[in-house]
Every structure is written in structure tokens, then in C-alpha cells.
Amino acid sequence: MPPVAKTIPAERTHHGDTVIDDYAWLIKKDDPDTVAYLEAENAYTNEATAHLKPLQDSIFQEIKGRTLETDLSVPTRKGAWWYYSRTEEGKQYGFQCRVAVEGDDPPVLTPGESLPGEQVILDGNELAGDSPFFAIGTSSVSPDGTLLAYSTDFSGDERFTLRFKNLSTGEVLGDEIPGIFYGGAWAGDGSAFFYTMVDEAWRPNRVFRHTLGSADQDPVVFQEDDERFWIGIGLSRSERFLILGAHSKITSEVRFLDANNPVGEFAVVRARETGIEYHVDHQNERFLVLHNQNAENFELASAPVDDPAVWTPVIAHRADTRLLDVDAFASHLVVHFRRDGLTGLRILPDDAEAYEIEFPEPLYDVAPSGNSEFVTSRLRLGYTSMVTPPSVYDFELASRALILLKRRPVLGGYDPADYEQFREWATAEDGTRVPISIVVRKGTPRPAPTLLYGYGSYETSIDPYFSVARLSLLDRGFVFAVAHVRGGGEMGRHWYEDGKLDRKKNTFTDFVAVARRLSGDWSGPIIARGGSAGGLLMGAVANLAPEKFAAVVAEVPFVDALNTILDPSLPLTVIEWDEWGDPLHNADVYAYMKSYSPYENVRDAAYPPILAITSFNDTRVFYHEPAKWVARLRAVARGGPFLLKTEMGAGHGGRSGRYDAWHEEAFTLSWILDRVGVSK
């Protein structure tokens, strides 16, 4: 029998609406009753899924057998070194390495063999030791290549400890700074390192400067007091400027500082103006500014370094093209864009006409990757599709030739020609056409069981991507589909705007429309899957149309959205008001969120089986959200079963070691297959 959560009625009133929350007690992480309940849920889930063990083991072996366990990345040049990472069979974590430069072409590396002169910068296995969780938050080599700044997390709460290593001697320096956030940046001369820390609401709000070897307290060089904004800092590719950005969901403000004067004062590019977002890169005597002033899909402008608030258009706004990013090099620019639901690259040489790189597949994803050098005649890019494994290319600017450097090996006889990918369209309730990306093994009889994935928030796009683990579904007769619902960014900025705030329900109805479109033609039973904000989507569609789905997988799901966004003391809440609205101070927002928040809308209806997966140390979506949700499903809804699985020693991304992660994915896929009667 499943555990029965005790009920302790907790009353809250907002805007004249009084609500009784029977399971609010689960928010108390340190309460022994909370831990006992989560462990009881884990025991029940283990018992209810024990019969899946043979299938889970088979899928794990398939993932492992298709993966070249001893492998390495394509080296990336930075100064006098080629940098790369590699993995070794049987080891959970990777190695970060480098070798000295000899010639212009990256060295040819053979998996399992070390190049003469290889230097291991970081060994994740040595650092992790016996810890059940391990993650690296920062790994940054100083401009002269002599020092490494790196940070580690052993609990999954994304609070890292920063350390420094002398790469010439291998010595780890005595400087140690606990509690930092992701990222950071070196001063141009390597004398100081800039890092960020978070406030009590887990908002990165302060930038500190650490001078190597100093025992003095690190000074705060910038503090952001507006609770809607978070900050980050980086070094421009040119290494001339430190770039410090403060961003809310809808507004930006960027500062810059001569990287060789780390004790100087940061200057503002342009003062923040509500609703204006911008990002900055540097090239020679100008900044490149990607902004949305009078340009919904963003335009690219240039600005003099000595007068950066004056913006002159370089690429004008286009209604059909969303500009995503700009990379500045000494003699050219690269613009990453999105058009017709696909990503692309536009090259702007200083001495020639602009052009776009063409790719042959109907569905794909491409982006610049690993371009550390400012002066270069090549562009490194990453490419993948739903049938093409992740691939690394060099694009020769002079000849316009694409040179394949590496395609991730997929062992066991994988042939892309055995699979097909398709773009279909669903029609939403308001007539909007919603794109769908589909992959299936050739010859699969249709309609077939389908795993339908969705996200739909923060302008995050779920672009066509390859997955080794997914092959275990496709080879067992599944269709895999991605619903590119509103709230994401697949079709441009308007696609995002039309699925947030008071239009958030479009995200949910779009997903149901996609399920309706696939039913009968492509799909038999449909299993829905999503995580984080995509877990909110899962909870919402389970309430909205439970009959459409044979099962639901909700990973670290944001299902107690209203209660979380009502509490400004919780991590990220105030920042999130620009995404979801402010229900604490606005009665209309409160009513709208209450009408879709999954926890509040569980009803007496037949629900499909639901598997909710969460992590005890998650600082983005707290474990108590799915715990409360599953408790209410059991108390109110019919159907199921409703399972809760909590990783007691992990964070938002789940278990950290690659073998552990494969076991977890194998568990989830075995549960999905079991829902449609596939047992081996």
C-alpha cells in the first residue's frame, strides 16, 4: 500500500481567498517526519517497480554498450595550449586536459592513449572521492595559461567552493572561498579573479574581487539591490574588458572594465530601462550590442568603446528571425539566430558580404562552440539532429568549407539511415500552428506508442537533439516527439510572450493540441514527459486532459507554482514575477495562477499513472512540490498509481556520475515501456 501523508491543515489568505493546505508541513526539510515520509515513498516506489529491474538492467546495458566509454573531445586552442576533456571506462567523471600547441591544426587524439606532454588539469574522479554527488561549477584558466580557478559542489545545492591551482607546478594554492555561484572571470594579467555570490533567495547579487595570495577580505565590486535582477561576470574573448551584466526577465544593464586594471571602476554601457534587454561583446574599438529596443526579435548594433550608449544598427530587426547571440572576433562576427523553428549561423566578415552557413537536414540544431581565440580564420561549431549524433565542425572562413572533426561514436551498429525525423504541425484552440519534431525507426507500424516531451517556459527552446538512451525506446517500436509549445522560443520572441504571464495557459492547451494531432495518425498510447517548468506543464495537462495520456513522467516538477510564487522568501521567487506574474500583490494574477497551478487543481477524475522524480537538495524546484502533489493526487484523484521517487543526495540535475545517471534514465525508460506492456 502507498504511504498516506498525514494532514496538518495550514490556512493562508490572499486577496480575500482562504485556502487550506493539508500538506504544507512537507516544506520543513529538517523535520524528521518529512525525511521519514520521503523515505517511505521511496520504499513504496521501489516495491511497485521491482518487477522492472530486468528491463532496467537491459536498458542500462544498451546505453552503456552504445557509448564509447573511453573517449575524448576535440581540442580547442587557447593561447599556447590545446584544451580537451576525456573519459575513461569505468570512471564516473571526466578529466580536463591540455597539451602544448604545435602547428595550427588540432592534434589527433586516440581514445585510450595519452599524447606526449599531456597535462591533466582536473581529474573529476580524484576530486569526487567517495562522495555520492559531485559537480564542477567553474573551470577557468588564466589568460597566460598558468593558473586554474575551479569550484566544486558535493551536495547538489549548487553552492560551490572556489580554489586555485598553479598549472606549472600542480600545486593547489591556499586560497579557498566557500559558497560561490557559477562562473567567474580572470583579470587580464591573472592577478585577480572575480566571482559571484548569492543572497538568501539564491539570487546572484554580488561580485567580489579576489587577489591571489591575499588574506584580506575580498571587496565587493558590485552589488545588485533590485530583487528582480541577477548578475554575472565574464572576460571578453578579446581579453580587453571584463563584462558585468545585471539582468531581470525583461531588463538589462551591462558594465565594463579594462581587464588590465582590475581595481578600477566599472562603467555602464547604457543605464537600465524597463523592458530593454541587451547583451554586449567587444571587437577592436567597438562594442557589439544585441538588443530589443523597438525590435521584438532583437537587432544587432555597434557602439564606440568611448561612447557605448550610442547604438548604430548592424543587422536590422526582422519579424521572421530571432537573433540569439553574437560572437565577436578580430576580423569577423558570427550571429546565432533562429528562423522557422530552426537555429542558424550568419557570418559577417569585416571585408566581405554577410552570408549564412547551409545545412542539409530538415531538422537540426547548430551553435558556435569552443571558440576561445580572438584572432582566428576558423569557426568551431556544434551540430546535431534527432538522427545525427553530436558533431564538431571547423568552418573555414576563406574557403567556406565545413570540416567534420568528430562525430560522437554510437556503438552497436547504429546507422542514422535506419531512423527518420519529421516536422508536423498541430492546430491550437485559437488557430495557432504548433510545430512538432518527431523521430521514429523506419518500418515502425503506426499508430505506435509515443513519448511526447514538452517544456514551454523562459523562451527555452527544445531543439532537435540526439539521444543514445532514446534508441532503447525507438528500437522497441516507440515514436518520440517534442511539442514546441508557446512559452518556449522556437518560433521567435512572440512565441515566448504568448505563453507567459496572463497567456500561460497557451502552453498547456498547445501540448494537448499536439497530443490530439498525433493520436491515431502517429500515436497509440501517449506518455507525456517534462521536467522543472516542463514538470509544471505535466501537472497542468494531467489536470486538463487526463484521458489523453497513458502515463506522465514529471521530473523535478514545478507543480506547487502558486504557493512558491506567493513566497518572496523562497529562492528565485521575486525574479520569477516577471515570468509568471506577482500573485502576492495582484489579485488578478493570483486568480489566474490559481486556475492552472497543478497542486490546486487536482480533481476527482481518473488520472493516468504518474511518476514524479525529485531531489532533496534541489534549490530551484524544492522537493516538497512533487511530494505535496503526489499526496494530493492520492487523496483526491482516481486512477494512478502515483509514484514519488526522491534522490536524497542530489540537486536539480539529479545524480551526478554518468553511470548513476544512466541507471536513473534506464529506470525511467523501463517504467515508460511498462506502461504500454513492453517487458523486455
Instruction: Output phi, psi for 497, to 5 deg.
Output: -60, -30
Q: Distance of CA 557 to CAs 431, 633, 668, Å? A: 29, 14, 15
Can you tell me whether residue 485 is helix, strand or coil?
coil
Can you tell me whether residue 62 is helix, strand or coil?
helix
Q: Which one of the listed residues 532, 615, 656, 670 is annotated catalytic?
A: 532
Kindly write down the DSSP assignment for every residue of 138-153, as one continuous string.
Answer: EEEE-TTSSEEEEEEE
End-to-end CA distance of the chain: 26
Q: Which one of the listed residues 21, 191, 652, 656 is annotated catalytic?
A: 652
Can you tell me whether residue 472 is helix, strand or coil?
helix
Dihedral of CA 254/258/259/261: which sign?
negative
Q: Which one of the listed residues 618, 624, 656, 670 is annotated catalytic?
A: 618
CA–CA distance, 252 with 312 (Å, rounded to integer): 18
CA atoms within 13 A on the CB side of 446: 15
Residue with cell 550610442: 310
- Picking from 298, 346, 345, the residue whose alpha carbon sits closest to that of residue 320 is 298
Helices 505-518 and 533-544 meet at what angle, rounded to 10? Answer: 70
Contact predicate 148/119, CB 8 Å: no
Instruction: Compute the C-alpha angle 29/35/41, nearest 5°.
Output: 125
Question: Which spans in 533-641 are helix H?
Answer: 533-544, 561-566, 573-580, 587-594, 624-636
- Picking from 250, 248, 308, 260, the residue whose alpha carbon sits closest to that of residue 281 is 308
CA–CA distance, 607 with 549 (Å, rounded to integer): 9
Helices 624-636 and 32-48 meet at what angle, rounded to 10? Answer: 60
DSSP annotation of 216: S
Answer yes or no: 618 catalytic.
yes
Answer yes or no: 532 catalytic.
yes
CA–CA distance, 608 with 528 (Å, rounded to integer): 10
Output the 3-class SS for 399-443. Answer: CCEEEEEEECCECCCCCHHHEEEEEEEEECCCCCEEEEEEEEECC
Cell, residue 202: 539564491
CA–CA distance, 7 with 528 (Å, rounded to integer): 30
Q: What torsion, rounded to 10 degrees, do the Cα atoms 250, 348, 188, 252 define?
A: -10
Instruction: Output phi, psi for 302, to 5 deg.
Output: -115, 155
Contact predicate 218/208, CB 8 Å: yes
Cell, residue 174: 591556499
CA–CA distance, 468 with 479 (Å, rounded to integer): 15
Residues with catalytic roles = 532, 618, 652
